[in-house]
Amino acid sequence: MKISVIIPVYNAEKYIAQAVESALHFKEVYEVILVEDQSPDDALKVCQLLSEIHQRVKLYQHPDKGNHGAGASRNLAIEKSTGDFIAFLDADDYFLPNRFDAERELFKNPEVEGVYGAIGVHYYTKKAKEQYYKVFGDRLTTVYKKHDPKDVFPGQLNMKGSFGLFSIDALTIRKESLLQKVNPLFKTHLRLHQDTELLFRSSYYLNFYPGILDQAVAIRGVHENNRITQLDIKKIKPSTTRVLLWKEVNKWAKSEDTMPQEIKTHIRRMYRSWEIANAPALKKWGMILKYLALDFKSIRSGLYNVNFRDHLW
């Protein structure tokens, strides 16, 4: 196995060395690709030093040396990668020693195109724990049991009951399959949830297998200056970005001819639900009546069968 570890770097001068060293621990890691995204701190200097010290560490910036976000940085890193497999890591997170234990065996099967695992959480400061414990707790982020690859996509959409989650930090993908079957890669116009949107689409096109689910293979590092928890949430409400996420997923689903109608219907409802939840109070009931009317028309036309009461949220 030759694994390219992709790390977008923004405002992470305190943490990037730990992330890089945790990846270099593995002989399977062929290269660690850093894309420095115009950090306001001294992350670029730290990255330059790491690339000088470690032969496997490669450093890039965007052509204009500007800030383009995590999605665009990951896309650039994938373009520059030369390994056979892609693994992702945020600059303030780190891998654990068991990170690729499952992958070593599972990828011997050519039908396995992706492997996902569980991640834990570490609070770098007491203040960070006070602020974000209610979000992350001390629990694993994991899929609760092993599923057939065909169930991973609907499971993420909450169509399989209690399914759970997996993080991009615990995902390893066969590069050839990713480039051949998933286009585009990360959608850079999404301010947040670019990784979630890619996980949805890639799990539809690729065979994702469960790796280690009952213990962490990577750690999410939480601190006061996380890109998501600090920088973006000050500018954009997380619930609003959820609307944009499901709008994008709904747009993709409508264009996918092979997708079953019941899945398209579920995605459309998820989008409508988030849109209504974030609408001004005066518009909510008008939107609900409009959407119920559309659903009733679909039921009458026989497009899908649904318990009407279930749609009243």
Alpha helices in the chain, H assignment, sequence order: 16-24, 43-53, 69-80, 101-106, 126-136, 152-156, 175-181, 194-205, 233-235, 238-255, 261-277, 281-301
Which residue, 45, 49, 65, 68, is CA-closest to 57? 49
In this prediction, residue 231 carries a pLDDT of: 44
Helix (H, G, I), strand (E, B) or coil at 286: helix
Q: Where are the domains of the chain?
A: 3-236, 239-312
Task: Please name the amino acid found at residue 309.
Answer: R
159 Cβ contact list (under 8 Å, min separation 6): 263, 266
Torsion of CA 62, 64, 67, 70, to 10 degrees: -20
Four-way CATH pick for 3-236: 3.90.550.10, 3.40.1190.20, 3.40.50.720, 3.60.10.10? 3.90.550.10
Burial 58-82 (b: 16+ CB within 10 A, else e): bbbbbeeeeebbbbbbbbbbbeebe
The answer to whether 124 touches 203, Cβ cutoff 8 Å, is no
In this prediction, residue 277 carries a pLDDT of: 79
In this prediction, residue 230 carries a pLDDT of: 44
pTM here is 0.87
* Sequential pLDDT tens for the chain (313 residues): 999 999 999 999 999 999 999 999 999 999 999 999 999 999 999 999 999 999 999 999 999 999 999 999 999 999 999 999 999 999 999 999 999 999 999 999 999 999 999 999 999 999 989 888 888 889 999 999 999 999 999 999 999 989 999 999 999 999 999 999 999 999 998 878 999 999 999 999 999 999 999 999 999 999 887 654 444 445 556 567 888 999 999 999 999 999 999 999 999 999 988 888 777 665 665 666 666 665 555 544 444 444 433 443 3
148 Cβ contact list (under 8 Å, min separation 6): none
